Amino acid sequence: MLDRPVRLRFAPAPTGMMHLGNIRTALMNALYATQHRGTFIMRIEDTDADRNYDPNAEHIRADLAWLGLHYAEGPGIGGPHAPYFQSQRTELYAQKLTELRDTNKIYRCFCTEEELERKRERQRALKLPPRYDRTCFHRTEADIAALLATNTPFVWRLAIDHARVVTITDLARKSVTFEMKHFSDFPLTRQDGSFTFLFANCVDDIDMAITHVFRGEEHLSNTACQTALYEAFGMPLPIFWHMPLLCNNDGKKLSKRDFGFSLRDLRDAGFLPQAILNYLAIIGSSYEHEIMDFTALTQTINFDHLHTAGRITYDVDKFHWVNRKWIERLSPTELLDACMPFLVHHYPDATYADTTRLTAALQIVRPEMNTLIDAAGLLDYFFKKPENTKTAALQHLTIEELQALAASIAPHVAQIANPNTVGDTLKTIAREKALSSKHLFWFIRLALTGRHMGPSMHELLTIIGSQEAAVRIEIFLDQFTQH
């Protein structure tokens, strides 16, 4: 039983766009914190200035807000452990490094990268694991003083107790044991004096009283090194969860080549934020009721019974299904608001559309939508008249058959354009002219939409409006009556 307040952090690096792995990590931290009445924190690991794609983490903050993931401490909010940018915390890192130096837990390493690479190559040739051989650990004080006198660059390394065996608590695996003899004395600084990810990350977690660290499976080896740092500082270890990696159908870790890898891709494709969180929360598990909002997820997910596999498969079809279910849940007004950016992008005049008719139109095509962007294709006839309809018609009927249909319809355009009389009118024409009722309905649908399939005739005319429908039918008939 934990004897201190639960505190979890999401610590992204602003070196690229938010992707599925980032989002899932943030989500699981937020869910656990909420479930245990703890604190969800965001901290920005921005020490790599050359790759800082998102200064001030503005995109990350906006993405989390769009997803509905709200942190209690972090950038833009502040908190008792501010600042929440690593680039602004170097004074603390320097203090903690001095603390380790004063207790003889670290030593200077003057080996160049070229020397280290030659040693690694030699070890690999001998089929040995590539590890630092502690050359600088054994240097004399005189040797060190001489190197410092010539301004030889160095890094600080942690002196690991290689006789130690440490055990961490992992929510999925329950316990994981590391024999420290298998790990190198790792660097805490770089030659330019900056601090490594491992060191800054650990110092921040200690300073911010983080009780649980949730991150990807690929960080498991880092955890062994960080346990050595926790011990060096005499601090209790957090509880970990090394989350399964998200993989594509080929079993490979998701990358930029995979659909939906980045949050921007998903937004542009018309995925709802609720669906994204829902899918990422249930992926790799089985639930009786799979469609859940954040509150339901908090009440349902059992962190005592987690997936123990190292990887789980990202199923695009299932993701689409979840998104479709969330589209079904939206109110008519919510659906209109959600679809409008996509409609305006494809049809600028959508800004001035009759919202009453457009709302009704979206209700009609909603069952066919997997993502919001589908609305643009499903409702193209709402915003523009169909083109190349004669060519499309001639692919199914002869010119003589089409002329006969046109001649029969021409006197009844007003009745056909009326959603309340269209059905009876077409059936009467079919009976009196001995024409195929199926062909007549198909003919009018093609005139109105340029398509062979779609909503019912009544729904179609309601969407388009009787006046516009009459104009489209007349234009279509002219192509055959003038032949």
- Its sign, for the CA torsion 64, 69, 73, 77, is positive
Query: What pLDDT sits at residue 328?
Result: 97
**167 forms bridges with which residues in the sheet?**
177
Query: Using CA atoms, how far apart are residues 189 and 97, in angstroms rounded to an integer?
Result: 9
53, 140: one domain: no
**Overall number of domains in the chain:** 4
If asked whether residues 230 and 371 sit together in one domain, one would say no
With respect to residue 169, please indicate whether it lies within any of the assigned structural domains: yes
The yes-or-no verdict on residue 387 having pLDDT over 90 is no
Lowest mean pLDDT among 90-94, 220-224, 255-259, 353-357: 255-259
Answer positive or negative: Cα dihedral of 113, 116, 120, 126.
positive
Residues 53 and 136 in one domain: no
- What confidence tens digit (pLDDT) does each residue in 107-135 have? 999 999 999 999 989 988 888 888 899 99
Report whether pLDDT(470) > 90.
yes
The mean pLDDT of the chain is 91
- What per-residue confidence (pLDDT) applies to 218? 86
Q: Is 239 among the domain residues?
A: yes
Burial of 215: CB neighbours in 10 Å, binned 0-12, 13-18, 19+: buried
- For residue 310, the model assigns a pLDDT of 73
User: Is 213 domain-assigned?
Assistant: yes
Within this chain, do residues 222 and 363 fall inside the same structural domain, yes or no?
no
- Does the pLDDT value for residue 482 go beyond 60? no
Residue 211 in domain: yes
In this prediction, residue 1 carries a pLDDT of 56
> Whole-angstrom Cα distance, residue 87 to residue 31?
28
Asked, for residue 19, whether it belongs to a domain, the answer is yes
Q: Report d(CA 375, CA 388) in Å as an integer.
A: 22
Name which of 469, 466, 464 is nearest 361 in CA terms: 464
CATH code for the domain in which residue 396 is found: 1.10.10.350
pTM of the model: 0.90
Q: 136 with 109: CB under 8 angstroms?
A: yes
Task: Point out the domain boundary residue: 376, 404, 430.
Answer: 376
Q: Which of 191, 197, 165, 192 is nearest to 178 (CA)?
A: 165
| Residue 26 and residue 68 in contact, taking contact as beta carbons nearer than 8 Å | no
* Helix intervals (H) in 152-293: 197-207, 220-233, 263-269, 273-282
CA distance 207 to 199: 12
pLDDT value at position 101?
A: 97
CATH number, domain containing residue 54: 3.40.50.620
**CATH code, 150:** 3.90.800.10
Tell me, yes or no, whether 83 lies in a domain: no
Task: Let me know whether 438 and 372 are in one domain.
Answer: no
Within a domain: 85: no
Q: Which residues are catalytic?
A: 256
Q: Which residue has the tokens 């987690």?
A: 306
66 and 150 both lie in a single domain: no
Determine the pLDDT at residue 216: 87
Lowest pLDDT segment from 2-16, 105-119, 384-398: 384-398
Interaxial angle between packed helices 457-464 and 355-365, expressed in degrees from 0 to 180 and rounded to the nearest 10: 150
Q: 3-class DSSP state for residue 399?
A: helix
Residue 18 and residue 160 in one domain = no
* Domain boundaries, position 102: 96-182
Q: Do 160 and 241 lie in a common domain?
A: no
- 170 with 221, same domain: the answer is no
Which range has the top average pLDDT, 260-264, 376-380, 441-445, 476-480?
376-380
Best-predicted range by mean pLDDT among 323-327, 396-400, 464-468?
323-327
In 3-state terms, what secondary structure has residue 314? coil
DSSP 8-state symbol, 239 = E
Alpha helices in 5-138 (DSSP H): 20-35, 58-67, 90-102, 113-125
Reading the block at residue 25, the tokens are 């990590």
Q: Same structural domain for residues 419 and 450?
A: yes
3-state secondary structure of 336: helix
Domain's final residue, options 182, 207, 237: 182
Whether 61 and 11 map to the same domain: the answer is yes
Q: Could you tell me if residue 292 is inside a domain?
A: no
Which of 40-54, 246-260, 361-375, 446-460 is predicted with the least confidence, judged by mean pLDDT? 40-54
Residues 175, 205, single domain; the answer is no
The pLDDT of residue 483 is 45
Predicted confidence (pLDDT) per residue in 179-188, tens digit: 999 999 999 9
